[in-house]
Amino acid sequence: MKRNIARLSQHAATLGVSLRPHLKTSKCIEAARYVLAGGNGPATVSTLAEAEMFAAAGITDILYAVGISPDKLDRVIALHRAGCRLTVLLDCAAQANAVAAASRASGVALPAMIEIDSDGHRSGLTPDDRALIEVGRILQDGGAELAGVLCHAGESYNVVGREAHARFAEIERQAVVDAATALRKAGLPCPALSVGSTPTAHGARDLTGVTEMRAGVYVFFDLVMAGIEACTLDDIALSVLTTVIGHQTARGWTICDAGWMAMSRDRGTAGQPVDQGYGLVCDDAGRVIPGLYVKQANQEHGVIARHPDFQGDVPEFPVGARLRILPNHACATAAQHQRYHVLPETPGAELVEWPRFGGW
């Protein structure tokens, strides 16, 4: 985890942009202390519950990177009054009007970023959409603060290799630069240009014009990220410890007690060149055991079997043996647990528990 954090931090520094880590992967104050390297921001969150928890822990610069709805603005204002600069995200006039009205009513000029769509993945306005200027003007003239533009190249998760991620990083960069240019031409400010996803943050080679990048899952990484070559298996810093509870010898199955409740139902590698089932199997020291994967999962049962791509023999493990499973998707697997059991940096030292939180 520390190596993953240091690597992206150095890459951001080399590119001359600030890094605004997404804390939705860990949802953990102790992990955030490492990710934010002792500072109190900048940070990104995916829910108001995260914003409230991290603000209570002293983090003062948070971007809530999911489109705002009017019913949530009371909690946004309360966070500002408690000393946290929480920036909201939006992409339409209805949201901008609500944010401007809340700003006027509260006397807090709420900072808002406009979401830009670069790849058709999900939300956002294209840089040439005339609504961009309209939304910017509603915010700026209505008493809110137009804080900038934001883009997330969600489609970058579907392409393999550093070269492909670099292309998406350039698409993200171009989108926010074009949007900022349009806003500025219309006489509107655009101080922040924010881009990012774990693949594009690592793949980016030139971020001219951009002020910050965001990434989240890089802290732990996972099999989906390994499958698109955004990391190696050795970078994966999260696993689920499980115990063997049975066998179906005729079918070559080993049954363990890590089912989907422990792994999540995320099957993110199902659409990748190598489908890793519900996860790859490691020994209790975290070394990948070649040829094994979690073929299927029920609520509290995982079925370990030989991967169809593997030809050789695979070892057998008796009832009671301990194994570790590397997850498809760290955000989803971590969300199934209430705490992390942190392996000590000094071998032989005690495990440390880091609590996680959830909710909205």
- Interacting residue ranges for its own copies, rule: CB under 8 A: 24, 46-47, 66-72, 90-92, 94-95, 98, 117, 120, 122-123, 154, 243-248, 251, 255, 257, 260-262, 264-267, 298-301, 303, 318-320, 329, 331-332, 335-338, 358-360
Cβ-contact 330, 221 below 8 angstroms: yes
169/244 with CB nearer its own copies: 244
115/145 with CB nearer its own copies: 115
91/172 with CB nearer its own copies: 91
Tell me, rounded to whole angstroms, the distance of Cα 289 from its chain centroid: 27
8/262 with CB nearer its own copies: 262
72/324 with CB nearer its own copies: 72
- Smallest distance from its own copies to CB 167, Å: 21
- Smallest distance from its own copies to CB 344, Å: 21
CA distance 67 to 130: 19
- Smallest distance from its own copies to CB 299, Å: 6
* Sequence-separated contacts (24+) of 295-301 with Cβ below 8 Å: 295/253, 297/258, 297/259, 297/260, 297/263, 297/265, 298/259, 298/260, 299/259, 299/260, 299/261, 300/257, 300/259, 300/261, 300/262, 301/245, 301/255, 301/256, 301/257, 301/259
Cα 121 to Cα 28, 152, 306: the distances in Å are 28, 9, 35
Cβ-contact 164, 171 below 8 angstroms: no
- Smallest distance from its own copies to CB 180, Å: 21
CA distance 35 to 20: 10
Q: Which of 232, 216, 221, 218 is nearest to 152 (CA)?
A: 216
Return phi, psi of residue 14, to 5°. Answer: -60, -40
208/249 with CB nearer its own copies: 249
Kindly report the number of other CB atoms within 10 A of residue 287's CB atom.
11
226/260 with CB nearer its own copies: 260
SS3 88: strand
Taking each helix axis from N to C end, the angle separating 73-81 and 93-106, rounded to the nearest 10 degrees, works out to 40
- Smallest distance from its own copies to CB 73, Å: 10
Look-up: residue for tokens 């008796």? 318
- Smallest distance from its own copies to CB 339, Å: 9
72/85 with CB nearer its own copies: 72
Q: Which of 330, 17, 2 is nearest to 169 (CA)?
A: 17
17/102 with CB nearer its own copies: 102
Strand partners, 339: 355
- Smallest distance from its own copies to CB 75, Å: 13
- Smallest distance from its own copies to CB 65, Å: 9
- Smallest distance from its own copies to CB 69, Å: 5
Q: How many residues does the chain have?
A: 360
